[in-house]
Amino acid sequence: MKILNRFIILFVLMATMFSCEEAELDSEFESGLTFEKPVGVVNEEMVNTYDVLKSYAGELKIGANASLADLSDENMGKLVRTNFTQVTPLAGLNSSAILSDDGTYDFSVINNYINEATNKELSVYGDAIVSNLNQNASYLNSFGASITYSTPLFPNFVDQSVIADGTFTDWTVNGDISIEEYMGEQSVKLENDASVVSREDTSLQSPVYSVDEGAEFELTFYILSDQVGEGRVIFDGLNNNEPEMDWTEVDSTSTTFTTEIGWNKIQFQTTDFDDSGEFSFKIELGYTPNVTYFLNIEGLSLINLNGKVENPEEIFVEAEDGILGSEWQINSDADASGGMYVLANSAENYLTPNNPGSEPYYINYTINAVKAGTYTCWVRGLGPTASDDSFFLSVNGSPFTYGYWPLSSGGWKWTNIGTYNLTAGENNFAASIRENGFQIDRFYFTLTSNTPSGVGSPAISQSEVRLDVSEDVKKNAVQRVLKEYITNVYDELGDKVDAWTVVKEPFEETGSIAVSGDAEEETSYYWADFLGEDYIPFAFSTVREKAPESTKLFLSETNLDINSNERDAVINLLKANDDIDGVAVGLELNTESDFNLVENMFDELAATGKLIYVTDLKIVISENTQEAYVQQSALYERLVSSYKSNVPSEQQYGISLAEPVDNTAGLWDSGYNRKLPYAGFAIGLGAEE
């Protein structure tokens, strides 16, 4: 209160002086001897008598948030250079700015920032290494993720039944290998213990397969690894039986492949057959000890891409082989193909072509076409009445259209519902409910003029398979990518930055660890979703292993003045973890803020014995008047004075401003002129009044 009274008295005295002298000044003005100065001008002249901020700071870091554009700007760059000792980048250290979708790192922006700051003799505060926000979430979510694949349209040479029953007839098996379910899918479990020393110690050798003239073989399998592993596939029957390949589509070739933690798709295509007319393959996984693999049995396939699938110009699809929304159901009928069909079981009709309904009303299909072209689509369906004899269809994202069926008196009927363009390879189509009660048995896409009859020709049953991961594997995968990210960031920037926020704002308002909840943003990735609260000590220990003792490592959090739950959580963590040097406290205050709570926060945090860094500091006023500036100046002085008096000197790291140049919160206005709050901040640091 004394601080505020002092600024109010100063303001009142100046205003009174000008009021009492008004008549005299008017007469003097007429004589040309003097001019009246507005109160704001007098304040500005007074504020400009103070030296630059850093001259009052001693060992204390005086910082500011600043972008690369700010540092490069002539006026802003000079202001920051002359007043501050440290800057914090606004976005250059965000994961989304460093880590690309393909997993490559780009440090050019932050390195340019550091170079610009260094040229201005400013240190850089690293905010932050690990955060839940501003993440490349699409890349991070790929680690330890579930995957979905379609079984091949072509005949599979691999007899999966002799693998699934554990007999491995005609296969040669080495190592600790068994058949187990993994997350609901039958799999070959291959365990490498500590004694594994050779790639052949854990291996699967296939039977011999015949090679037709003009064949192109494609080998595919899906393998889960609980740790990072290594493997390779060698062959008999090729001109080069140990080829270098891009096995996992990483745009580089090698004789072996790396298995990341989680599911990995391994695929190989070849026409490089020798003259033997025979072919076999051997999967070798004995490179890395203490790794367990699961090879999905249904996903192991060897197909001839140039082979025949009935007629390459025809595609039959069973209706029940799609991914059904909840408003569809599968029923039995001896007259249906394969004895099964799907029924539109919704309570409503959807008669508008442009609004076929939401996901529960869809059936989604994936098919593979050997040839590209315009296909005629036939559907074998059944409409019991005139009110339930149609459905919508969309192919490769085309607008939904519909067709009508003859009534059920004649049983199942084939109906031509139009032509659609298919590309060679994978295509997608969707059925959606138009009228409830309609029944679908089968789809037929053809480049021919054939009219199907009966149930149509037998088709290879193609299905989609989802491979999930267990919680422990997901945790291993996420922990590995977290360590990899921290390592890459610190290896690049560690010798250029001597203080870091290692973990940024990890707590909820309740004091519990922050998780994504139901409303996850595209740029958010909550590490605690997968690692729990353990990600915090893990992150600090990973950085501390690399960082010298002189590098200070901070935990950051906001609202610690007004939220005791978060404050207690931070204090407990500071006390429990020796790798954490201090807390970076984000403070956004206004003229209504209770500064007694701020002082209490400083006392409680100081009791931990850790460093305290006030970051993102702003005290906001609602209007830009001289009266408001007086109050704002007093509050800045009180805040800085409280920090210096309540926090022992050896625990004072510094104070950093969120918006040093800002008409409502800054110490300078948008024209880079000092405002009255500059004086309050400087006095708080130790300047004479």
The residue-averaged pLDDT of 204-215 equals: 94
Mean pLDDT value across the chain: 89
Check pLDDT > 90 for residue 58: yes
Residue type, 687: A
Provide the pLDDT for residue 354: 52
Provide the pLDDT for residue 359: 79
b/e for 487-498, b at 16 or more Cβ within 10 A?
Answer: eebbeebbebbb
Provide the pLDDT for residue 289: 97
Cα distance between residue 391 and residue 381, in whole Å: 10
Pair type for strands 86-88 and 123-124: parallel
Nearest alpha carbon to residue 610 among 645, 665, 652: 652
Confidence label for 350 from pLDDT (cuts 50, 70 and 90): confident
* In contact, 355 and 348? CB cutoff 8 Å: no
Residue scoring higher pLDDT (481 or 39): 481
Provide the pLDDT for residue 25: 28
Report cis status (omega within 30 of 0) of the bond before 431.
Answer: no
The residue-averaged pLDDT of 465-485 equals: 96
Provide the pLDDT for residue 18: 35
Check pLDDT > 70 for residue 516: yes
At CA 338, angle to CA 335 and CA 343, rounded to 5?
70
Provide the pLDDT for residue 30: 36
Nearest alpha carbon to residue 555 among 315, 572, 510: 572
Check pLDDT > 80 for residue 452: yes
Cα distance between residue 142 and residue 250, in whole Å: 14
Q: Residue 610 has what DSSP assignment? A: -
Provide the pLDDT for residue 108: 96
Provide the pLDDT for residue 11: 44
Cα distance between residue 319 and residue 379, in whole Å: 9
Across the strands, what pairs with 613? 584, 654
DSSP 3-state assignment of 429? strand
The residue-averaged pLDDT of 65-80 equals: 97
Cα distance between residue 688 and residue 49, in whole Å: 11
Residue range 314-462, CATH number: 2.60.120.260
| Percent of the chain's residues with pLDDT above 70 | 89
Check pLDDT > 80 for residue 527: yes
Confidence label for 40 from pLDDT (cuts 50, 70 and 90): low
Per-residue tokens: 312: 């390459």
For the four alpha carbons of 493, 521, 365 and 321, in that order, the dihedral sign comes to positive
Of the candidate CATH numbers 1.10.10.10, 3.90.1150.10, 2.30.42.10, 3.20.20.80, the domain formed by 37-139+472-685 belongs to 3.20.20.80
For 536-585, what is each residue's pLDDT tens digit? 999 999 999 999 999 999 999 999 999 999 999 999 999 999 999 999 99
Cα distance between residue 310 and residue 368, in whole Å: 13
Cα distance between residue 409 and residue 452, in whole Å: 19
DSSP 3-state assignment of 350? coil
Q: Could you write out the DSSP letters of every residue in 166-224? A: S--TT-EEESEEEEEEETTEEEEEEEE-TT--SGGGSEEE---EE--TT--EEEEEEEE
Check pLDDT > 50 for residue 35: no
Domain 147-304 has CATH 2.60.120.260: yes
Cβ atoms < 10 Å from Cβ of 119: 11
Residue intervals in the chain for CATH 2.60.120.260 = 147-304, 314-462
Provide the pLDDT for residue 5: 52
Least confident piece of the model among 144-158, 262-276, 302-316, 640-654: 302-316
Provide the pLDDT for residue 67: 97
Return the HEC string of 613-648: EEEEEEEECCCCCHHHHHHHHHHHHHHHHHHHHHCC
For 366-403, what is each residue's pLDDT tens digit? 998 878 999 999 999 998 888 888 899 999 998 888 86
Residue intervals in the chain for CATH 3.20.20.80 = 37-139+472-685
- List CB contacts of 13: < 8 A, sequence separation 6 or more: none
For the four alpha carbons of 232, 235, 238 and 239, in that order, the dihedral sign comes to positive
Provide the pLDDT for residue 590: 95
For 612-641, what is each residue's pLDDT tens digit? 999 999 999 999 999 999 999 999 999 999
Helix (DSSP H) and strand (DSSP E) numbers for the chain: 16, 34
Q: Could you write out the DSSP letters of every residue in 510-575? A: TSSBP---S---TT---THHHHGGGHHHHHHHHHHHHS-TTSEEEEEEE-TTT-HHHHHHHHHHHH
